[in-house]
Amino acid sequence: MLLGLLNFVLAFFKTMFSLDAHENYGKAADNGRPGAPARPAGGARPGSTAPRGINNVHTLFGSSGASGDHGNVHSINSSRSWQTKVNEAKTARKVIVVDFTASWCGPCKLMAPVFAELSRKFGQLVFVKVDVDEVQEVAAQYGVRAMPTFLFIKDGQEIDKVVGADKNDLERKCSRYATSR
């Protein structure tokens, strides 16, 4: 019992504090325990790709970003709202910065306040957040396999990408596309 609890705690901290991209999206997961048999992607709730147990931990400790401030970030909750935002950006001739995220992704939570701050700093860009478990079609359309993934989209086409919680690279690319027209 104690060993099982220790393995869960270690897996939790590894998940929450790893700055590498979560690359188990859409793949077999290890149930959050080293040496555990693989299971199909799917997690504690239907449609989730989280390792089992992680959703319960978020319920206990909270799942919102540190500041709770979302800046100028628009949440996309359907393929239809995605297409509307893409069309608006095309008409305005603006670049969209997309944060592909998941509620169970530790590095995504660390990047949420950074993304919100960048949305305030670079108002020339359109910042949107897509939860890959809620809007799977959009994530699949762009081949997203790791979280966080940040895509830069112009006229509906991907023009650049940042995979992982790389604040400096994300800010550098936001600056580049905010000044280009």
Residues involved in catalysis:
105, 108
Report in angstroms the alpha-carbon separations of 91 from 47, 88, 113, 124.
Answer: 34, 5, 28, 14
Q: Which amino acid is at 175?
A: S
Distance CA 125, CA 123 (A): 5
- 3-state secondary structure at position 59: helix
- For 176, the enclosing helix (H) or strand (E) is helix 167-179
Give 114's Cβ-side CA count (13 Å radius): 19
Q: Given phi > 0 = left and psi -120 to 50 = alpha, else beta, which region is 32?
A: left
Q: Which amino acid is at 115?
A: F
From the number of C-beta atoms within 10 Å of its C-beta (0-12, 13-18, 19+), residue 30 rates as middle
Distance CA 181, CA 176 (A): 10
Distance CA 154, CA 54 (A): 35
